[in-house]
Structure 1
Amino acid sequence: MTHKHFAIYKPYGYLSQFVNNGQKQNSKKLLGELYDFPLGTMAIGRLDEKSEGLLLLTTDGKTSNHICSGGIEKEYYAQVDGNITIDAINQLSQGIEIGFDGRKYKTAPCKAAILKNIPDFPERSRKIRDDRHGPTSWVSITLKEGKFRQIRKMTSAVGYPTLRLIRVRIGDIYLNNMQVGEVKELIDI
């Protein structure tokens, strides 16, 4: 059997799934609405409903398991509330305690940096607050693990809640200049 692999720019407001899972009809937007994916296509990992960016899809469970099992870097750009400090970046880099599954969890060390230039992403479908509500800053966070809402919990734990979160890279695959909702078939991942 020949497997298919895809990269998608997951839009804000979509779930990283294809099946409704018993929710009210038409209450949530699903990935299958964006493209005619082959039967058996699954998301490799997740991006929550409020997150955007690069999501890989495959019909191959082994490929999905390999990428999700850790060891592969995932890079995110987060727009955070306030002008984040070097001290907060250092805390993120060294690992920070967050809540996960009702318990405290210390994140693994990661790469974190302040982005000097504002990234040029398409405007989000739902507007983020404007400058009248105070400054924001952008950070890059690269990690190999991926707990539920981890980046959001990490930035909040150091005092800078995430306002917008976009995954820009998984391993050697980059979001680059893909447009929101765009799907690209990949030869291999």
Structure 2
Amino acid sequence: MVKPSVLLYVALYKPYDVLSQFTGEVGQRTLGEIDLPQGVYAAGRLDKDSEGLLLLSNDGPFIDRLIHPKNGHPRSYLVQVERVPDDDTLDQLRKGVTIKGYRTKPCKVELLKSEPELPPRTPPIRERKNIPTAWLRISLTEGKNRQVRRMTAAVGFPTLRLVRESIGKLTLGNLLPGEWKMVSTDDIL
């Protein structure tokens, strides 16, 4: 594999309902609809129904280092859940829960006192008048498939909206869905 002459690192606010890849099935929205620099690809994934910070790069060794489970770089998510979890439930999440036969590693979980300032989601989440919602900040050092959604479901609080706000030191900042900016490795690790 030939190393690119210019290494690129891109922080993108991946919109809801967009795959974390450049190709998809007919009718699927992909990163191909966003005018990104040529030759970059996603460092890790965000599910189609999740949004927020996605790092893209053409630096394969750096991506491998960033996403390899042994390195345990923190990733933080803003998570809107159905109903308001109590302290015992939050402690369950912090200690780790069993999902699909796997025990998640301990993580940081905070119940936010107010709704975070985020751009509206299109389409908006389904609202149910008689069921309150709460926002959590969950910080993980691992990234199993759909892990945050499975964790909140396992303790009885389904995820309604999921926004990744940081990877390592890199934060979403003021980016809006579909916007991106160039960053450096020093911004990330």
TM-score by length of 1: 0.92
Aligned to 1:18: 22
Does structure 1 residue 129 correspond to structure 2 residue 132? no
1:2 to partner: Cα distance: 1.7
Amino acid at match of 1:42: Y
1:131 to partner: Cα distance: 5.0
Q: Distance in 1 between matches of 2:36 and 2:173?
A: 23
Aligned to 1:47: 46
Amino acid at match of 1:35: D
1:133 to partner: Cα distance: 4.1
Does structure 1 residue 143 correspond to structure 2 residue 135? no
Q: Distance in 1 between matches of 2:36 and 2:107?
A: 36
Q: Distance in 2 between matches of 1:187 and 1:83?
A: 38
Identical pairs, percent: 43
Aligned to 1:156: 153
Q: SS of the counterpart of 1:118?
A: coil
Change (3 A) 1:76 1:36: closer
Q: SS of the counterpart of 2:144?
A: coil
Q: How far does the alpha carbon of each residue in 1:139-165 deviate from its partner, in whole angstroms, 9 at most, with x for none?
A: 011011000000000000000000000
Q: SS of the counterpart of 1:88?
A: helix
Aligned to 1:118: 115
Gaps of 5+ in 2: none
CA contact (8 A) 1:35 1:183 kept: no
Gaps of 5+ in 1: none
Aligned to 2:6: 2
List 4+ stretches of structure 1 deviating above 2 A. none
Q: Distance in 1 between matches of 2:108 and 2:87?
A: 13
Q: How many residues align?
A: 180
1:185 to partner: Cα distance: 1.0
Aligned to 2:179: 182
Q: 1:106 aligns with which of 103, 119, 133?
A: 103
Q: SS of the counterpart of 1:45?
A: coil
TM-score by length of 2: 0.92
1:19 to partner: Cα distance: 2.3
Q: Distance in 2 between matches of 1:182 and 1:146?
A: 24
